[in-house]
Amino acid sequence: MKRSKEEEPDAVCVVGAVAFVLSLLEPDPTKRPSVRAALEERWINEGHREGHAQRASTPAPQNR
């Protein structure tokens, strides 16, 4: 099943998500972000909102 353009993740969002998850998976605890730092991460708080809000305002196609 192909995704429509509105359903495709924004490349910037995907890169930000991958970087965020990889930072949480850092094996060295001195390099891994704290819970507070992770929750304050720009990607969580700002980076993906614009694209998400834009997609959320677009009605989903009806499958019949």
Is the per-residue pLDDT at 32 higher than 80?
yes
32 vs 62, which has greater pLDDT? Answer: 32
Claim: this prediction has a pTM higher than 0.85: no
Give 9-26 pLDDT, tens digit per residue.
Answer: 677 778 888 999 999 999
pLDDT the model gives residue 55? 47
| The one-letter amino acid at 55 | R
Tokens 């909102």 — which residue? 49
Share of the chain above pLDDT 90, in %: 36
Tokens 């990607």 — which residue? 43
User: How far is it, in rounded angstroms, from Cα 10 to Cα 33?
Assistant: 25
pLDDT the model gives residue 48? 53
The domains of the chain are located at 15-55
Asked whether the beta carbons of 29 and 20 are under 8 A apart, the reply is: no
